[in-house]
Structure 1
Amino acid sequence: MVAIDELGTLWDKLFSAQPDPPPLLVVVTAAVALAVVSTRLPWRIARNAVTIAHEGGHALAALLTGRRLHGIRLHSDTSGLTLSAGRPTGPGMILTLLAGYVAPSLVGLAGAWLLGGNRITLLLWIAVALLLAMLVMVRNAFGAVSLLATGGVVLAVSWYASPDVQAAFAWTSVWFLLLGGVRPVVELQRLRSRGRMPESDADQLARLTPFPPLFWVALFALVNLLALVVGAALLAGPILADAGLTV
């Protein structure tokens, strides 16, 4: 009976909705995330979270399309590599390559949807579960440490922090993914224009399809910008509600 009661308490904590955040929190967390994405050193550090989502996108797409996932590597220069086996051409390979650059923004969009329903605890615990799932497939020490550190921070916030701190952390993280998903696409095209990324996802997709690399870069940008717009509308719910409007 005690175990059932504890399970019920955990279920309620996980799926219950928290109160609406104050509109100021939504604005401040957006500003903080934008500052991190826009400035060199903070971006250099925080970009590891974007790389985790990027490689996670490759890995998930590989598994969903029936490819054999061999491992994920995360590097200290914020680059990463996901290795999978299967047909070198065809829809599975195309979707696996396509998933990387759009994954951070789509993860951010999913997070914005959860925060739109004030499911802060659920969002944080899902994040921990996804990071643990990636940890199983990581094949280098820096990648393991990076995932353990990121997961440890998220778990600590979800378990020990006050509701206000959890809200601030969750909104900042989701804003960061939405905004941070756009910058790597810009960086990708800048490096490509200098001939420094001949094996980029866009160039590999161009070799597998009739479309040139610039088409794929533009598609990455379009998906990520749409995710940013929709995610921002979801996150701005408390502001719009305060103004008597709805999303």
Structure 2
Amino acid sequence: MEIIDRWWQAVLAGFGGTEPLVLAPWPVLGLLALCVLLTVPRATWRIFGLYVTFVHELGHAFAALLTGRFVHGLKIRLDHSGELVSSGKPGFSAVFSGFWGYPAPAVVGLGLVASTYFGHASAALSIGALVLLGSLVFLRNWAGIAVALCSALAAQLLVLYTPVRAMGWVVLGLGLMLLVGSVRDLFKVIGVHTRRRELVSSSDAYILATRSWLPAWFWLMGFTVAVGGSVVLSGWMLAAMLA
């Protein structure tokens, strides 16, 4: 079909590279305001937060695959909770895959910001479109499939129809939104351990504590370092791109 051929050619063209972004202060402030508007208010977070949860669960899935675990599937629920089912040897692989949930949106956000800094925004968009499309094989519930389909469709449309000059801005915006979303989720999981203890059994930090000899606060610190480091590095690159 012609549309599939156009899409594939657009994906391949994305690996040709783009010019690094040179930013002016006011457009960056406007972009940051838009990112906050989409990620902080509860009404918009109900929608965009599902994408952040999707990236969170994909972080678990890819970390599991990297350590030789078999991924049976993942679920995403409309209340922003998720579940990955994988099997393999207990110990390091289970702990490693369990850790890379909350840091995943921040690390991906850092990668997207870095791609605009180094002039590879179009490649990042193409890779993201392929990853989101491929991730559909992991989904095992209807809500998760709907979230994945919407995310994958949005990524494919961005690859097809984003003008070359706007590519860097689109990728930068996506990266910043994931970074803000990751910080919001980090505060949420810390709040579960400090104020909403009745929900602590569903926390990744609590689950990691049961799989290792390290306490939950250690894993919360690990999440904080990974997310905070991604935000700081992204901020440094954003400042370096300012004209």
Class of the TM-score when normalised by the shorter of the 2 chains: 0.7 to 0.9
Per-residue displacement from partner, 1:179-230 (whole Å, max 9, x unpaired)?
Answer: 2111112111212332212132101111222221112112101210110010
Per-residue displacement from partner, 1:97-148 (whole Å, max 9, x unpaired)?
Answer: 1011111111111111111123221111111111112101111122122111
- Give the one of 26, 29, 35 matched to 2:28: 26
1:91 aligns to what? 92
- Whether the 8 Å contact between 2:10 and 2:160 is mirrored in structure 1 is no
- What stretches of structure 1 of length at least 5 have no aligned partner? 1-6, 243-247
Could you say if the C-alpha distance between residues 10 and 178 of structure 1 is closer, same or farther in structure 2, counting changes exceeding 3 Å?
A: closer
* CA–CA distance in structure 2, aligned partners of residues 93 and 220 of structure 1: 16
1:223 aligns to what? 226
- Whether the 8 Å contact between 2:21 and 2:168 is mirrored in structure 1 is no
1:245 aligns to what? none
Q: How do 1:155-234 residues align onto structure 2 when only pairs under 5 Å count?
A: 155-193=156-194, 194-195=196-197, 196-234=199-237
* CA–CA distance in structure 1, aligned partners of residues 219 and 201 of structure 2: 14
Q: What letter matches 2:214 in structure 1?
A: F
- Whether the 8 Å contact between 2:106 and 2:179 is mirrored in structure 1 is yes
- Whether the 8 Å contact between 2:129 and 2:159 is mirrored in structure 1 is no
* CA–CA distance in structure 2, aligned partners of residues 192 and 13 of structure 1: 43
Could you say if the C-alpha distance between residues 205 and 19 of structure 1 is closer, same or farther in structure 2, counting changes exceeding 3 Å?
A: closer
Secondary structure of 1:228's partner?
A: helix
* CA–CA distance in structure 1, aligned partners of residues 121 and 114 of structure 2: 11
Could you say if the C-alpha distance between residues 158 and 192 of structure 1 is closer, same or farther in structure 2, counting changes exceeding 3 Å?
A: same
Q: Report the TM-score when normalising by structure 1.
A: 0.86
The offset of 1:11, in angstroms, is 4.9
> How many residues are treated as equivalent by the alignment?
233
Identity of paired residues, percent?
28
Q: How do 1:15-54 residues align onto structure 2 when only pairs under 5 Å count?
A: 15-18=16-19, 20-23=21-24, 24-54=26-56
- Whether the 8 Å contact between 1:58 and 1:82 is mirrored in structure 2 is yes
Q: What letter matches 1:211 in structure 2?
A: L
Please say which structure displays the higher CA radius of gyration. Answer: 1
Q: What letter matches 1:93 in structure 2?
A: A
- Whether the 8 Å contact between 1:21 and 1:167 is mirrored in structure 2 is no
- What stretches of structure 2 of length at least 5 have no aligned partner? 1-7
The offset of 1:27, in angstroms, is 2.8
- Whether the 8 Å contact between 1:55 and 1:72 is mirrored in structure 2 is yes
Structure 1 stretches of 4+ moved >4 Å: 7-13
* CA–CA distance in structure 1, aligned partners of residues 174 and 87 of structure 2: 32
* CA–CA distance in structure 1, aligned partners of residues 56 and 161 of structure 2: 28
Could you say if the C-alpha distance between residues 51 and 13 of structure 1 is closer, same or farther in structure 2, counting changes exceeding 3 Å?
A: closer
Q: What letter matches 2:160 in structure 1?
A: W
- Whether the 8 Å contact between 1:25 and 1:168 is mirrored in structure 2 is no
- Whether the 8 Å contact between 1:26 and 1:236 is mirrored in structure 2 is no
Could you say if the C-alpha distance between residues 9 and 32 of structure 1 is closer, same or farther in structure 2, counting changes exceeding 3 Å?
A: closer
207-216 or 100-109, larger mean C-alpha shift: 207-216
* CA–CA distance in structure 2, aligned partners of residues 19 and 208 of structure 1: 43
Secondary structure of 1:66's partner?
A: coil
Secondary structure of 1:197's partner?
A: helix
The offset of 1:72, in angstroms, is 1.0
- Whether the 8 Å contact between 2:12 and 2:126 is mirrored in structure 1 is no
Q: Report the TM-score when normalising by structure 2.
A: 0.88
7-16 or 97-106, larger mean C-alpha shift: 7-16
